[in-house]
Amino acid sequence: MENLSLILHVFAGALIVGPQFLLFFAVVPSTWLIEDEQLKRAVTRVVTKRYGVIAGIAILISLLTGLYQFYSVTPDSVSADINAYRFGSIFMIKMTLFVAFIALAAFHAITGKRIGKLADAVASGDGDASELEHQRRRSLLLSVPMMLVASALLALGVLLGRGEYSYVPI
């Protein structure tokens, strides 16, 4: 069960991080080539909705498998006094970043909804195209800290999983 939990945890992390880079470096720039605002909106809506479902499921899986690993895999001596080991500081940083990632993702989703409304307004002739582009750039820039935090979460997970490093007393 420990191996399955670890496999699922890593897989969930990959499902969160990998598509973020794909969206940032390939999908979003590809939409810049679409001049028809309604088509651009439709493509973006499909891609982001599907990624949102995948990411939501992956976050839930990572949370559940992470809890399982903490309570079932981490040695009792370490989990009883995590601050006496490197594990404690790594774990606290990882959990803080996990909460920050959730907050960034929620804010990004709210921004995305605003962009959707602006895009619909622009497509119907009632919106300000420059404001829409401003919000799109803002959303793209918000993706950078999300990718960095998600990547840091993966790196910290690797450190936690290496007992010869994280289970060392401090």
pLDDT band at residue 132 using 50, 70 and 90 as cut-offs: very high
Domain that holds residue 102: 2-166
Domains in the chain, number: 1
Residue with tokens 């080991």: 85
pLDDT tens digit string along 76-86? 999 999 999 99
Look at residues 155, 151, 156 and name the one whose alpha carbon lies nearest to residue 16: 151
pLDDT of residue 150: 96
pLDDT tens digit string along 44-65? 999 999 999 999 999 999 999 9
Q: How much is the mean pLDDT over the chain? A: 94
pLDDT tens digit string along 156-166? 999 999 999 99
Provide the 3-class DSSP secondary structure of residue 85: strand
Instruction: Judge contact between 108 and 142, C-beta under 8 A.
Output: yes
Q: Which two tokens stand for residue 155?
A: 């790196």
Compute and round to an integer the Cα radius of gyration of the chain.
20
